[in-house]
Amino acid sequence: MSKLTVAVLFGGQSSEHEVSRMSATTILSNMDPEKYYIIPVGITKAGQWMIYNGPVEKISTGEWETFGTPAVLSPDASQKGILRLVGGKVKEIPIDVAFPVLHGLYGEDGTIQGLLELAKIPYVGCGVLSSAVSMDKTFTKIIAKHARIPQAAYVALQSKDRAKPQILRQIERKLGYPVFVKPANAGSSVGVSRAADRQQLEQALEVAAKEDWKILVEREIRGREVECAVLGDHTKAEASGVGEILSAGKFYDYHSKYEDENSRTVIPADLPEETVKTIRRLAVKVFESVDGCGLARVDFFVEEGTNQVIFNELNTMPGFTSISMYPKLWEERGLALPDLIDRLIELAMQEAQRMGHYHG
């Protein structure tokens, strides 16, 4: 079998730029050079694209930018590749498949997927629609409601309305306190706050408004935070086991995830067999409800007292850092990270063939 040329995209313009660099470092370190010609392509916070040829460890530190060569991904479907720009000359580098290891805005929201679709380049992960509705938590809520998936009560609003007394009253009347306030489009718990009274609610809405023009306010669910990984495509998706998050903070915010060494994950979670079955079933149902493809991590609460499984959110390009749950959940099922990467690339190629069949 001939080697595939894989462009691994990392960095990006989102608030999760640093997390993306960590994820890409893990993925690049676990790709088999016997199977792939690997082309790391970094995107700076300012949005500049560069092919990177330096040591993999300089990606996570941010030093990679000094080693980069300017490049762009061409939307021209006849080229199917990266254009490297050196000294006024353009060199075409054809690629077989892209692995967009990009978290958050411009990476997980359908935008990079749309560019890759235009270029007719197969890519790892969910498609344009699936990525967009999964990134926007308000649309994910609508889809989950329609699919009758249990979730927390919520109020969605535009950031411009955050100080209106009638909006604040609606939140208090429908949800009570405490609540969680989230930007509709952000990941890694960026801009998320917990509010236990009116003053904290107003402050939390201000914090969320800095990240997005839409805000989601949810009733707090008291219980255990668990996660389940999904792998597959439109023909068949399977769920991993279940992992539990033991956050060092009051909730699993950005600091608790990536900076506090006291946060832990437990795999497999110590849960009743029936609860694990429900989580796995609902994880696949959520994935299928948003037309998921490739991968997703689906997050739930197991409510205190009732043991009810309540959907929280899904992530269509979950982290691949050294502490990330997604690869660890599959490792626990016997699928090592290099094999998981192979499977994701294989699914990307299969999906491209399937879509090519429909689009001629």
pLDDT in tens, 146-174: 999 999 999 999 999 999 999 999 999 99
Per-residue pLDDT band at 87 (split at 50, 70, 90): confident
Task: Please tell me which residue, 8 or 234, carries the higher pLDDT value.
Answer: 8
Which segment of 114-123, 243-252, 260-269 scores lowest on mean pLDDT?
243-252
Q: What residues are paired with 69 via a beta bridge? A: 51
User: Cβ neighbours of residue 216 under 8 Å, at least 6 residues apart?
Assistant: 137, 138, 141, 154, 155, 156, 181, 182, 183, 184
- For the chain, state the CA radius of gyration: 20
Do residues 42 and 68 lie in contact, with contact meaning Cβ atoms separated by under 8 Å?
yes
What is the structure's pLDDT at 187? 65
How far apart (Å, rounded) are the C-alpha atoms in residues 215 and 181? 7
Instruction: Using the predicted structure, report yes or no on whether residue 182 has a pLDDT greater than 90.
Output: yes
Beta strands at 214-219 and 154-158: parallel, antiparallel or unpaired = antiparallel
Instruction: Using the predicted structure, report yes or no on whether residue 344 has a pLDDT greater than 90.
Output: yes
Instruction: Identify residue 248 by its one-letter amino acid code.
Output: A
pLDDT in tens, 192-243: 999 999 999 999 999 999 999 999 999 999 999 999 999 999 999 999 999 9
What is the structure's pLDDT at 100? 98
What DSSP state is assigned to residue 188?
T
Beta strand ranges found along 44-112 (DSSP E): 49-52, 68-73, 81-86, 89-94, 97-100
What is the structure's pLDDT at 175? 98
Instruction: Using the predicted structure, report yes or no on whether residue 256 has a pLDDT greater than 50.
Output: no
User: Cβ neighbours of residue 55 under 8 Å, at least 6 residues apart?
Assistant: none
Per-residue pLDDT band at 354 (split at 50, 70, 90): confident
Per-residue pLDDT band at 323 (split at 50, 70, 90): confident
Among residues 71, 77, 91, 83, the alpha carbon closest in space to that of 121 is found at: 77
* Percent of residues in the chain assigned helix, strand, coil, to nearest 5: 35, 30, 35
Chain mean pLDDT for the chain: 93
pLDDT in tens, 26-85: 999 999 999 999 999 999 999 999 999 999 999 999 999 999 999 999 999 999 999 999
Instruction: Using the predicted structure, report yes or no on whether residue 252 has a pLDDT greater than 60.
Output: no
How far apart (Å, rounded) are the C-alpha atoms in residues 44 and 24? 14
Mean pLDDT of 130-143: 96
For residue 42, what are its two tokens? Answer: 């970094």
How far apart (Å, rounded) are the C-alpha atoms in residues 144 and 312? 10
> Helix or strand or coil: residue 93?
strand
Per-residue pLDDT band at 189 (split at 50, 70, 90): confident
Q: To the nearest whole percent, how much of the chain has pLDDT over 90? A: 86
Do residues 238 and 284 lie in contact, with contact meaning Cβ atoms separated by under 8 Å?
yes
What DSSP state is assigned to residue 304?
T
* Buried-state track 84-93, b at ≥16 Cβ within 10 A, e below 16: bbeeeeeeeb
The pTM score is 0.92
Q: Report the C-alpha dihedral over residues 59, 253, 101, 346, rounded to 10 degrees.
A: 130
